[in-house]
Amino acid sequence: MNLSSAIFTRFDPYSGQLDGASYTERRLSQLRGAFADEAAYDAALAQDDPVIYTVATLEPAQGEGQLNYALGMLNPGRIGTEYYLTKGHYHAWRPAAECYLGLSGQGVMLLEDENSRESKLLPLLPNSIVYVPGYTAHRTINTGDTPLIYWGIYPSAAGHDYGAIAQRNFHKVVVAVDETPTLLDRLEFLNALHQAETQ
Ligand code: PAN
Ligand code: ZN
C-alpha cells in the first residue's frame, strides 16, 4: 500500500481549513449556468466576483478500497432568490457513493437519481450525515447566513462528472420564498420569473 503522509490530519470545522490539502476555489464567474435566474447572475457578476465556495481535498491513497475526502466551505448568499450552491456533479464512476457530514452552518443537499430523475432534499446540518447513493447527482446549498462547512468522503476512484449537469441542470431549484428555503421545479420557477418580467 502506498500511503502519502496524510494518515493523520487536522481541520477547522468553522473555516474549512484542512492541513496539507489542495484547495479549489469557485468564484461566481465560474458558475455560469448553475443558477436559474440568468439576469440576476449577470447583475451580480457586474458588481463583484466573490468566492462562492472552496474545496480542500486530501487524497491519502489511490486504488481499490481507498478513500479520499474533501472539506467544503460554501459561503452564504443568493443570486436573485436562489441560495449559493455548488456546481453539482455525478461521480464519473457512477456506482460510487459518498458520505456528507455537516460541521457548521445550515444547508441542504439536493440529490437527483440519474435514472428515475427523482429528487430528494435533505438537511445538511452539524451532527448529521447525508448518504449519497451511487448514480445520484448531488449539489450542496447554503440556506443559512454563515459559511456552511461539511465533509465529503468518497471512494478514491469516484471522480467528478460535471458535464452531465452543465448540459442538463438539476430539475429542482432551492429558492427563498417568504424567507423560507423552498424546493420548486426549475421550469415552473423560470416561467414565474418570465411572467413577472413581462407584467
Ligand atoms: C464534494 C464536492 C464539493 C464541491 O467534495 O466536490 O462539495 O462541489 P462540486 O464538486 O460539485 O463543485 C464531492 O461531492 N466530491 O465527490
Ligand atoms: Zn461527490
Chain segment 126-172, per-residue pLDDT in tens: 999 999 999 999 999 999 999 999 999 999 999 999 999 999 999 99
Query: What's the topology of domain 22-198?
Result: Jelly Rolls (2.60.120)
Atom of ligand 1 minimally distant from the CA of 70: 5
Burial 52-80 (b: 16+ CB within 10 A, else e): bbbbbebebeeeeeeebbbbbbbbbebbb
Domain boundaries, the chain: 22-198
User: Under a CB-based contact definition with an 8 Å cutoff, are residues 149 and 104 in contact?
Assistant: yes
The neighbouring-strand residues paired with 79 are 82
Q: What is the mean pLDDT of residues 69-79?
A: 98
CA of 132 to the centre of ligand 2 (A): 8
pTM above 0.85, yes or no: yes
Instruction: Look at the block and give the residue holding cell 439576469.
Output: 39
pLDDT digit string, tens, across residues 29-68: 999 999 999 999 999 999 999 999 999 999 999 999 999 9
Nearest CA residue ID for atom 1, ligand 1: 152
Q: Where are the alpha helices (DSSP H) in the chain?
A: 38-47, 163-167, 186-198
Q: What is the mean pLDDT of residues 80-96?
A: 98
Nearest CA residue ID for atom 6, ligand 1: 55
List of residues 6+ apart from 178 with CB closer than 8 A: none
Question: Residue 81 is placed in which grid cell?
Answer: 432568490
Mean pLDDT, the chain, rounded, equals 95
Count CA atoms closer than 13 A to 124's CA, side-chain side.
Answer: 34
Question: In testing the pocket of ligand 1, which one of 35, 84, 86 has its CB within 8 Å of the most ligand atoms?
Answer: 86
Question: In testing the pocket of ligand 1, which one of 109, 160, 165 has its CB within 8 Å of the most ligand atoms?
Answer: 160
* Weakest mean pLDDT among 1-15, 156-170, 173-187: 1-15
CA of 128 to the centre of ligand 2 (A): 17
